[in-house]
Structure 1
């Protein structure tokens, strides 16, 4: 299972990104932005599973990433990769962090999102 701290460590080491917290109403929502243009390439949020159509009553951490539309359909599986929560569902996906495999392709998806939003 990946945690938000794992992701923050990875993006700091790889891209020099520190999370920022732009929403007063949602103080744990962390934006991952490019230093050069301020665009988001990721957003870490804590939400109730029901907002994604999942079972459970306790908040979960998710990571929104930009993804090429031609890949989104093959990635979404209804369990750990879902349509982008509160984002354009044609271009964004949401990863449920407590369902992800840290040895999987998550860091590749982060890199892809980083490159797509330059």
Structure 2
């Protein structure tokens, strides 16, 4: 779990916040959420990630632990149960996609400040 949090926080411009109380941990870029981490909920932890709707549906079909976003817009967000069934590299790719989806919708000046 610490690897996942560290990976998210190490993204350029990322910041940890707790806007909803002690859980979930929300990771934002320029004030916009790209990851929500729910630690130790039942048998394991979960992460909500933004996703292109077509890719989101495809991931849900391919992986039993990828579901429509919990408490999120189910078309644009997935909830992934971190139960060990997905390689960490796949989870990192999903985090990258979520981050990129949010960054591409930021104002140009903000996007440019992230590349400096």
TM-score (structure 2 length as normaliser): 0.75
Of 7, 11, 31, 1:10 maps to 7
- Show the 5 A alignment for 1:51-90: 58-77=42-61, 79-90=64-75
Identify, as 1 or 2, the structure richer in strand. Answer: 2
Deviation at 1:12, TM superposition (A): 2.8
Instruction: State the SS of the aligned residue for 2:34.
Output: strand
Deviation at 1:18, TM superposition (A): 4.0
TM-score (structure 1 length as normaliser): 0.74
Q: Which runs of 5+ in 1 are unaligned?
A: 49-57
Q: Residue in 2 aligned with 1:52?
A: none
- What is the number of residues matched between the two proteins? 102
Q: Which runs of 5+ in 2 are unaligned?
A: 104-116
Deviation at 1:75, TM superposition (A): 0.4
